[in-house]
Amino acid sequence: MPEPKRSPYAKQSGKATPIMLSVAAVLAVAAGVVFWMLRDGGTDVSGTINDRTPSAAPKSEGGTTGGPDTVVQGPASRFAPFTGELPGRYSVNVPETFAQNISTFASSYLFKSANEGADYARQWKIIDGYKVQFDPDGLAAGIVEGRYGILIETYLFEDTTGAKSAYDYISGVLTRTSGSVAQEAKQLANQSSGYQIIQGTVGTSDMVQVYHRFLFRRGNVVVSVQTVGGQPFMTIDKARDIAVIIDDRILGKREATTPTPIPTPSFNLPPTPEPTR
């Protein structure tokens, strides 16, 4: 399975894993999109960190469990949170923020090969994709103080059937990833699950680095929210808090403004050949 590069915040040994933040620059977004992502909107999902013990952090209890299993319209980018909704000061990592096309989707860590990825894209009827990375104030120095990085992947499918298949597949990949441990968290949307990997240290410090990923499906949308931070501060609930913002957008409970138009790569795929008789 193709593996992404190391976290920009990590000092590590050994191989990277699919749950980690990728630092490979694929496609930079236009300035208008960055400005849209930087504007304020809503309130922080958590307060100031006052305790280094993860168990002392508040549990993520918000959001809608179950509810509508509906088809919504894109683009996928309009469901991403504003920086003003995130807990603390963040900036958008431009090289790591981009609309997906069939090539970037098919060649991602999810698949053994680009050909396999293209086959699944056709089977699931994916119509749009978007990735955004938020870097915390201070980067690695900020993470040592309790802040954390956020990477969000949003995939939009033609119908709920394709989205269900994609969710099950991605969940399987994350479950089988070396070192991945299932996490208990309150259910969100139509399907959800959580994962953790402990790997490396933060920057040049000795603080253990931990990755959490909260995966959920709402109707025809599948979303992955990944956090990376220092182990003393982190639980799966921080990733779930961000997921609640996104799910509320999909449900229409929060503003879902389409960003400034940019050339969006097309997911148009050739039709599936008819079987020979």
In a domain, 42, yes or no: yes
3-state secondary structure at position 230: strand
Domain range for 233: 10-49+59-251
Q: Which residue has the tokens 């961000």?
A: 242
Residue type, 139: L
CATH number for the domain that contains residue 130: 3.40.1000
One digit per residue, the tens of pLDDT, for the chain of length 277 reads: 233 345 555 554 444 444 443 332 222 222 222 222 222 333 333 333 334 556 556 799 999 999 999 999 999 999 999 999 999 999 999 999 999 888 889 999 999 999 999 999 999 999 999 999 999 999 999 999 999 999 999 999 999 999 999 999 999 999 999 999 999 999 999 999 999 999 999 999 999 999 999 999 999 999 999 999 999 999 999 999 999 999 999 999 998 765 543 334 445 555 445 555 4
Q: Which of 216, 272, 250, 215 is nearest to 19 (CA)?
A: 215
Report the helix count and the strand count for the chain, using DSSP H and E: 6, 9
In a domain, 150, yes or no: yes
If one counts the domains in the chain, the total is: 1
In a domain, 80, yes or no: yes
Q: What is the pLDDT of residue 174?
A: 97
Q: What is the pLDDT of residue 176?
A: 96
Report the alpha-carbon distance of residue 214 to residue 226 in Å, rounded: 6
- Are residues 121 and 113 in contact, defined by beta-carbon separation less than 8 angstroms? no
From the CB of residue 101, how many other CB atoms can be counted at a distance below 10 Å?
17
In this structure, the dihedral spanned by the alpha carbons of residues 218, 224, 230 and 231, taken in order and rounded to 10 degrees, is: 70
In this structure, the dihedral spanned by the alpha carbons of residues 103, 109, 111 and 112, taken in order and rounded to 10 degrees, is: 110
Report the alpha-carbon distance of residue 10 to residue 204 in Å, rounded: 8
Rg over alpha carbons for the chain, rounded to the nearest Å, is 18
Task: Report the DSSP pairing between strands 191-202 and 181-183.
Answer: antiparallel
Report the alpha-carbon distance of residue 173 to residue 260 in Å, rounded: 34
In a domain, 276, yes or no: no
Tokens matching residue 210: 């931990």
pTM: 0.78
Report the alpha-carbon distance of residue 21 to residue 9 in Å, rounded: 9
In a domain, 269, yes or no: no
- Are residues 174 and 213 in contact, defined by beta-carbon separation less than 8 angstroms? yes
In a domain, 264, yes or no: no
Q: What is the pLDDT of residue 102?
A: 86
In a domain, 259, yes or no: no
In a domain, 270, yes or no: no
3-state secondary structure at position 59: coil
